[in-house]
Amino acid sequence: MNTELVVTMFDGEDAASAAYQALRRLEQTGGIAILDAATLVKHSDGTSEIKDTQDVDTRHGAYFGVISGALIGLLGGPAGALIGSVAGAATGAASASMIDFGFPNEDLQTLDDRLAPGSSALVVLVEETWLDKLDAALASFEGHSTRRSLDGDRAERLAWAALLAQFDADLARMNAQFAQESSLIRAELNAKAKAEAALAELREQRDAKRQELQQKIQVRIDHLNAAIAQRRAAMAAAAAEAKARANAQIAALESKRQAAEQKLEASWQAQQAEWQQDIDALKARAAGAEAEAAARIDAQVAALEARRQAAQQEWERRKRAAAAAAQNLKAGASEARTDLRQAREKAAAEFK
């Protein structure tokens, strides 16, 4: 099924925004499904800005930001474009490659030039089955519409570019969240076990997201390899002119495959670096824990040694006291025997 790019131009700066709001209300009730949409306003002073980009929570998924990314490219980058912060994160990579992926130059590249000052345009990306609903919704706004069909191959490549941008934004957001929550966990939690569990969960989420991206890129590489093999098979049976066209197609596919492989390699290297950082941090914490345990054991040994020395000193004191007591007792006994002998001698002398 083809995807349709519909450009509707209006008199008045607010007309495109009003038509966009009507489409959004219709979409919320299930009356239409929009893949992506944005408005371009040409002010009376000749300046242009982008408004009313699609909300990221809608169901169009990988196509989000494709139109706003292309319009940003027309205006020379984000300076001069009024878009939400979420849209800006998703459209950065997509806007740089719209022409490479076959985006219709004549419909968007000249749009800003065709708009008169004080007018506006609504750009909508919608599946072909919803065209009648779209025409009916815009009928009351007195605009002039043009449309361009994107075949399945163009739409798929366009969605792929937006999907890569979305994955890049997700990884950047998760890395930022990982750094922020790691700091908060270490600062707020006294229990090291809880902190380590939370950090491990974040690492698993980050690694799972990177693995998912690598799988997506690998699927894309496999798809390109299959397409290259198909073109080569066709080239073997084609005439000289057809072979030249097939060679050009193969060269383009080879270039895209190499770019995808380079992205996969960069992602793998980044993952290895992240794992090494985690390992180094764990080793540092383990070394700190060993030093702390050694210091604690040394303190216990020192305390036991002090107690042992104090007991030894007390034992020596008691030995000295016992020896002195024994010496005193011996001296007292000798004096008593002398006194007894003298008393006996005196009594014997008196008896005589």
CB atoms within 10 A of CB 188: 9
More confident residue, 169 or 183: 183
Least confident span in 131-140, 161-170, 221-230, 247-256: 161-170
Q: What pLDDT score does 84 carry? A: 35
Taking the C-alpha atoms of residue 181 and residue 152, their distance in angstroms, rounded to an integer, is: 42
Please state, in angstroms and as integers, the Cα–Cα distance from residue 254 to each residue in 3, 152, 237, 263, following that order.
26, 21, 21, 14
By the 10 Å C-beta count (0-12 exposed, 13-18 middle, 19+ buried), 336 is classed as exposed
**H helices within the chain, ranges in order?**
15-28, 66-74, 85-95, 105-108, 111-114, 131-138, 152-188, 192-236, 240-351
pLDDT tens-digit series, residues 172-226: 778 888 888 877 877 777 777 887 888 889 989 999 988 888 888 998 888 888 8
The structure tokens listed for 225 are 């390899």
Return the bridge partners of 350, or none: none
Helical H runs in 5-145?
15-28, 66-74, 85-95, 105-108, 111-114, 131-138
Sole residue written with tokens 């490479």: 100
Better-scored residue on pLDDT, 268 or 107: 268
The more confidently predicted of residues 97 and 242 is 242
Q: State if pTM tops 0.75.
A: no
Residue 144: strand, helix, or coil: strand
On the question of pLDDT at 76 being above 60, the answer is: no
DSSP state of 55: P
